[in-house]
Amino acid sequence: MQTYRLGNTGPDVSAIGLGCMGMSGMYGAADRAESIATIHAALDAGVNLLDTGDFYGMGHNEMLIGEALKTRKREELIISVKTGALRDPLGAWNGYDSRPAALKNFIAYSLQRLGTDYIDIYRPARLDPNVPIEETVGAIADMIKAGYVRHIGLSEVGAETIRRAAAVHPIADLQIEYSLISRGIEDAILPTCRALGISITAYGVLSRGLISGHWQKGQDGGKGDFRSVSPRFQAANIDQNLALVEELRKIAAEKQASVAQIAIAWVAAQGKDIIPLIGARRRDRLTEALGSSAVQLSAGDMAAIERAVPKDAAAGARYPEAQLKHMDSEH
């Protein structure tokens, strides 16, 4: 597995990271034993970057990772944790809290659930509109001094917020959605990160399975599946979006690759400062995703992909309107 430095000041991470959110119910039920086996398989394949959030399954995801890592050497792993999202017992979202006191409280619970004494990359999940980003970053910087955190990351924030944060403390990476059908970062956010030496850890590279080549119209992910409310999966949009996938499938067939592998390889081909996070919950999906590293895209391939899936070709927003309001990256 190839490794790259995360930003100018971050750790060395595998060229592909494992996003663990789907193992804790966001896309319907997941099998606990298979989830742990998938984490182990990823680590065995050379993946060292595991991404989670303290609010994934209200702590379930961190405990799952903690269990999976009991037999592994901590110093060989890079654990990234998002924090600040507030949820109620029913799983509903209640905004964000990035006050310094709150962050220090949240990390205490994360360390306990993960079974570790430090977190490699700690980041606010979204911009708290009531707390200046300077205060949030400053609080995490204090945790670095105390030894509980190694690096600071950001998530789903815009160019101006990135610049303000970087003025307080070096930022290793920005975690943000980036895929063939979610390319908004290319206008201002990506150039800003590159100017400041900040890497991108790209989630949603398969757009929650929509452009994986496996999703079918009418498919039901079960109770609690985010896709049931995601605009791009709704009846008004799904036909147009799946038509894009079929165009991509033609290119995949010519390359003797899967649709998912082409989509992941396209993200990776955008630069060594962009690390795709794959959300595999099963070992077979993990194996498929890791196979993307063997897919070499020529200039002709990239042009063909651009024709098949032009920028802004997707129908529907990437989040429901209520959630987009909380995303500084969209403003």
- Which residues are designated catalytic? 56
- Taking the mean position of all CA atoms in its chain, how far away is CA 286? 15
Return the bridge partners of 28, or none. Answer: 26
Cβ(167)–Cβ(292) below 8 Å: no
Nearest CA to 82 out of 52, 112, 107, 49 is that of: 52
Give the C-alpha separation, 141 to 317, whole Å.
34
Dihedral sign computed on CA atoms, order 27, 31, 32, 34: negative
Question: What's the chain look like in SS3?
Answer: CCEEECCCCCCEEECCEEECHHHHCECECCCHHHHHHHHHHHHHCCCCEEEEECCHHHHHHHHHHHHHHHHCCHHHCEEEEEECEEECCCCCEEEECCCHHHHHHHHHHHHHHHCCCCEEEEEECCCCCCCCHHHHHHHHHHHHHCCCEEEEEEECCCHHHHHHHHCCCCCCEEEEECECCECHHHCCHHHHHHHHCCEEEEECCCCCCCCCCCCCCCCCCCCCCHHHCCHHHCHHHHHHHHHHHHHHHHHHHHHCCCHHHHHHHHHHCCCCCEEEEECCCCHHHHHHHHHHHHCCCCHHHHHHHHHHCCCCCCCCCCCCHHHHCCCHHHC
